[in-house]
Amino acid sequence: MSDYHFDTLTIHAGQEPDPTTGAIMPPIYQTSTYVQPAPAEHKGYEYSRTDNPTRTALQDCFAALEGAKYGLAFASGMATTDTILRLLKPGDHVVVGNDVYGGTYRLFERVYARYGLHFSWVDLTDLDAVKAAFTPQTRLLWLETPTNPYLALADIEALAQLAPDGVIVAVDNTFASPALQQPLKLGAHIVMHSATKYLGGHSDVVGGILATNDAELYEQLKFLQNAVGAVPAPLDCFLVLRGIKTLSVRMERHCENAMKIARFLEDHPAVKRVYYPGLESHPQHELAKRQMRAFGGMVSIILENEAVAKLMVTRTKLFSLAESLGGVESLIEHPYSMTHASTADSDIAVNPALVRLSVGIEHVEDLMADLQQALTD
């Protein structure tokens, strides 16, 4: 199966037509338990927290997309991150990028810091700063690339090489999706996603997923998946699996639309700055070309000030004002007061004049017209 191209894997990996009925889609195994012929004898499934066939199909499909041997699905992106953090113990130290999803910051500093984990927040574009942040207690390097909301890139290959032996390198690949970048091939040990975003792709499910090639890490994470129990429902697994089937074609259109919109906004007098890895003006455009197959569907802009930013996000008609991203429909939001409110008083607070766009797959001319009217007095 792994010999097939990515586009073929999105549709077929982990899935066989049902041998008894011929059903082409994996059934939604809406069951909590499985009948056993004798005590402790079963057909691979005994209880649905531990394993469920619809979840297995999703995990195997996703693992193939990341070029991984093992996949594990969770109830949300945060539940996935939480499970990875549980590999650590009190006293351990984590090096993490200083531009991350607000919920990641909240989980690390407001939950895990209470359990004795220590975090150093560093600029991942500064390799010397990252190197200097490692201590003998460092057990995890946490990367997010491109970042949310500044769309800065971390050089996964360089950072994975820099990490001392014994440090787990984990990458939050939510913004790129495996269609654009496969971190395990660049030296990461674990790749994770909020499946709520591009993998699901239709804003109808919350989920999370990770993949690894390391058998030992997999055993520990699989143990935690069952022991902690933040597992996804069978229907949610089905929805993500269904979303993944169109990942390649969706990402193509997301990227194409976002590129045109980024150029349009770069030329717009009301826009002070555009952050998009596909623009020549992006400080890491060369890295983006090397590391990513295309540049993604997320665009961030800086407007005149906070009031102008807050006004713009209420004036768009096609771009809906909402948190989240990665769905077929275009969304717009104000990170400072919405997705990143949990960082507002911290060192990693975002610019209040920043507006974040999740560019959908509608016709690009309709999207540009909507932005134009929202930016016009």
Ligand X SMILES: *Cc1c(COP(=O)(O)O)cnc(C)c1O
Please, are residues 359 and 254 in contact by the beta-carbon 8 Å criterion? Answer: yes
Binding of ligand X by 73 (CB under 6 A): no
Whether 57 and 242 have beta carbons less than 8 Å apart is answered as no
**Given 49, 222, 245, 310, the catalytic residue:** 49
Our finding on whether 103 is near ligand X (CB under 6 A) is yes
**Residue closer to ligand X (CB basis): 183 or 271:** 183
Cis status of the peptide bond prior to 149, with omega within 30 of 0: yes
The nearest distance, CB 215 to ligand X, in angstroms, is 26
**CB-based contact 280:326 (threshold 8 Å):** no
Looking at residues 118 to 177 of the shown chain, list those that interact with ligand X (rule: CB under 6 A). 144, 148, 172, 174-175
Question: Is 185 annotated in the active site?
Answer: no
Q: Which of 51, 82, 197, 218 is catalytic?
A: 197
Please identify, among the stretches 14-22, 51-59, 72-80, 158-166, the one whose residues bind ligand X according to the rule CB under 6 A. 72-80
Q: Are 95 and 122 in contact (CB under 8 A)?
A: yes
169/206 with CB nearer ligand X: 206
Q: How far is the CB of 175 from ligand X (least distance, A)?
A: 6
- Two tokens, residue 284: 């890491």
* CB 209 within 8 Å of CB 199: yes
For residues 151 and 298, the answer to whether their CB atoms sit within 8 Å is yes
- C-alpha distances (whole Å) from 71 to each of 159, 241, 260 are 23, 13, 35
Which of 51, 55, 92, 101 is catalytic? The answer is 101
Instruction: Choose the binding region for ligand X from 75-83, 152-160, 178-186, 292-300 (rule: CB under 6 A).
Output: 75-83
Q: Which stretch binds ligand X (CB under 6 A): 8-16, 74-82, 115-123, 270-278?
A: 74-82
Q: Which residue number, 175 or 364, has a Cβ lying nearer to ligand X?
A: 175
The minimum distance between CB 325 and ligand X, in angstroms, equals 6
Question: Is 273 an active-site residue?
Answer: no
In the stretch 176-215, what mask flags binding to ligand X with x, by CB under 6 A?
------------------x-xx--------x-x-------
Q: Look up 172 and say whether it is catalytic.
A: yes
Residue 101 known to be catalytic: yes
Least separation in angstroms between CB 207 and ligand X? 6
Residues serving a catalytic function are 49, 101, 172, 197
Binding site for ligand X (CB under 6 A): 76-78, 101, 103-104, 144, 148, 172, 174-175, 194, 196-197, 206, 208
